[in-house]
Structure 1
Amino acid sequence: MIDPQRSTPENLVARVRAVLPSLTPSAQLIARLILDDPATVARSTITELSAASATSEATIVRTARVLGFSGYAQLRLALAAAAAHQGPDRLVPGDLAPDDPLSDVIAKVTRAEREAIEDTAAQLSPERLGEVVDAITAARRVDVYGVAASGLVAADMAQKLLRIGLSAHAFTDAHLALTSAVLLKAGDVAVGVSCTGETPDVLEPMRLAGKAGATTVAITNNPRSSLAEVSDHVLISAGRETAFRPGALASRISQLLVVDYVFVGVAQRTSEVSNQALRTTRDAVDQFLTDPRTRTRRP
């Protein structure tokens, strides 16, 4: 649920997008209108929105409450503030079309990536991030689970933490992830990466990791997902799905941004050790690249 005390013009639409998959079908109709044109919804009476969404006025009120508002009037005010702060062009990015020239592709993809980054930053609580950073800093071991596009993010997180001296491992195979999860202990950290928060290959290892006593962290677009429910800490990423960029791909940049937040936070907390580890690992790679024996090609 959206906390109205934390809702701002910068994060309102992003938060509505995040909870969209978990809403009822009728509530999704209303939420999609908000995402498609929040400025118009802000100008609409409840009767006008009822007609536009083909839902009842009672459904609109219930949807507003699910989103964290006392009623439709409060939601309208928040949407009006968002429209005034960001402008309609920011709130309704253009979708990609099959016949778009490459100049438009560059502009639209750049815009979508920028907005995903901005929306992720707007939603992320420094307090919540700090709790995750504390847990990872003190961890004996950090295991990260993800598949497909989220698997790439899991690998990125593991290699970053490994570079600063932490014992970190990424698992993109469900069987290996399950093996990892049951061997974790109190003081270890398990991180699950999933755009929808409903990926079975990530969900089950996270459940088992929690049962084993590990601290669990979710990186997901959906704060009402099953992954969020089984995790001790939830970090929300953002990404707008388009015709040529399904949800998992659209979220990749924002998930990587969340990983960078965590990595930098941990590196700050362990600056002496992490700086030494970075120098040592960089020197090892540099020596490998400059050693003439490593450049000798076999026939």
Structure 2
Amino acid sequence: MSSNLKETFTHAPPAPAALAAKVRTLGPSMTRSMQRVAEAVAADPAGCAALTVTGLAERTGTSEATVVRTARVLGYPGYRDLRLALAGLAAQQQSGGAPAVTADIAVDDPLAEVVAKLAQEEQQCLADTAAGLDTSQLDAAVAALATARRIDVYGIGASNLVGQDLVQKLLRIGLIAHAPGDPHLAVTNAVQLRAGDVAIAITHSGRTDDVIEPLRAAFDRGATTVAITGRPDAEVTQYADHVLTTSTARESELRPAAMSSRTSQLLVVDCLFIGVAQRTYESAAPALSDSYQALAHRHSPRHS
């Protein structure tokens, strides 16, 4: 387990509602023994809340030390705090507050069922991301963006589409932003950045070299760097001043990771945009109005 993962999730215990989200997000990066503990508390919060640290270790075939480490990785100072969160989550589930996990989409599912399953998965993904998002990291990223001389956003594939979405929004409130889709162009842009600029890397896996390389170049040149990723222990976070963690739905044959990660990434970039627009409202509002008027004029019958 990397120190980066530990540092990211031990500064503030998450609310009970965020526990299940953190298990889903952090599970793949845990050791197998820690995964057994995480899976057990997510599957049966009420039962695990009644167990001592020794009891949970015996139930999962692990050690007391593994249980405590798992609690800390999930964001709790110790096992006692995790038990309290488990009791809260169990109460929430009993009151009907926790959404059910739907089955994977099957190749012979009728379209009505596909719609229902996708809607449930998207809702769960958004709720998990919102519950696990570190608002102090988000606020710091917003502050940097609001005063940035220039903003670069790096992403490949679906993540580049998310980056373009953010750039278009920022441009409409008068900020200078770019989302180069070509990896070589991303690096050549990054080496021009300096203190006062911001670089954002969007990568669910956190291991995409074509995203890590320009972020590292920007980091080395003193720009403020932000990583939007589903893996807070991944390599990309080594070069990020601020880390915004996204959640994702379960990957399946007909639902690749890029689909569900895109949903949570869009939520995060929307939060960034709104935060920046709030901080720069005096200049953002007129710029946004000008862009609306320009588009309205372009599509008016007289202009046509």
Same fold flag (TM > 0.5)? yes
The one-character-per-residue Cα deviations of 1:9-31 (angstroms, maximum 9, x if unpaired) are 11111122222232123222332
Hey, what's the Cα distance between the residues in 2 that align with 1:10 and 1:95?
21
- The count of corresponding residues between Structure 1 and Structure 2 is 294
TM-score scaled to structure 1, two decimals?
0.87
Q: Does 1:93 align with 2:101?
A: yes
What letter is aligned with 1:94? T
1:48 CA drift (Å):
6.5
1:292 CA drift (Å):
5.6
Hey, what's the Cα distance between the residues in 1 that align with 2:208 and 2:105?
29
Q: Does 1:82 align with 2:89?
A: yes
CA, structure 1 residues 31+189, in 2 after alignment: closer, same or farther (shift >3 Å)? same
Hey, what's the Cα distance between the residues in 2 that align with 1:142 and 1:90?
38
Unaligned runs of 5+ in 1: 295-299
Hey, what's the Cα distance between the residues in 2 that align with 1:112 and 1:241?
8
CA, structure 1 residues 4+270, in 2 after alignment: closer, same or farther (shift >3 Å)? closer
Is the Cα–Cα contact under 8 Å of residues 10 and 73 in structure 2 kept in the other structure?
no
Match of 2:3 in 1: none
| 1:46-57 equivalences in 2 (<5 Å) | 53-57=60-64
1:40 CA drift (Å):
4.6
Of 227, 230, 241, the residue aligned with 1:232 is 241
Match of 2:282 in 1: 272
SS at match of 2:199: strand
Match of 1:191 in 2: 200
Unaligned runs of 5+ in 2: 1-5
1:75 CA drift (Å):
2.6
Q: Cα RMSD (Å) of the superposition?
A: 2.6
SS at match of 1:131: helix
Is the Cα–Cα contact under 8 Å of residues 96 and 105 in structure 1 kept in the other structure?
no
Is the Cα–Cα contact under 8 Å of residues 34 and 41 in structure 1 kept in the other structure?
yes
1:49 CA drift (Å):
5.0
Is the Cα–Cα contact under 8 Å of residues 239 and 251 in structure 1 kept in the other structure?
yes
Hey, what's the Cα distance between the residues in 2 that align with 1:47 and 1:97?
39
Is the Cα–Cα contact under 8 Å of residues 141 and 226 in structure 2 kept in the other structure?
yes
TM-score scaled to structure 2, two decimals?
0.85
Q: Does 1:141 align with 2:157?
A: no
The one-character-per-residue Cα deviations of 1:66-117 (angstroms, maximum 9, x if unpaired) are 3344554543332221121244782651222414433332222222222222
Hey, what's the Cα distance between the residues in 2 that align with 1:123 and 1:152?
23
Hey, what's the Cα distance between the residues in 2 that align with 1:84 and 1:126?
25
Q: Does 1:205 align with 2:222?
A: no
What letter is aligned with 1:66? V
Match of 1:297 in 2: none
Hey, what's the Cα distance between the residues in 2 that align with 1:58 and 1:6?
19
What letter is aligned with 2:98? R
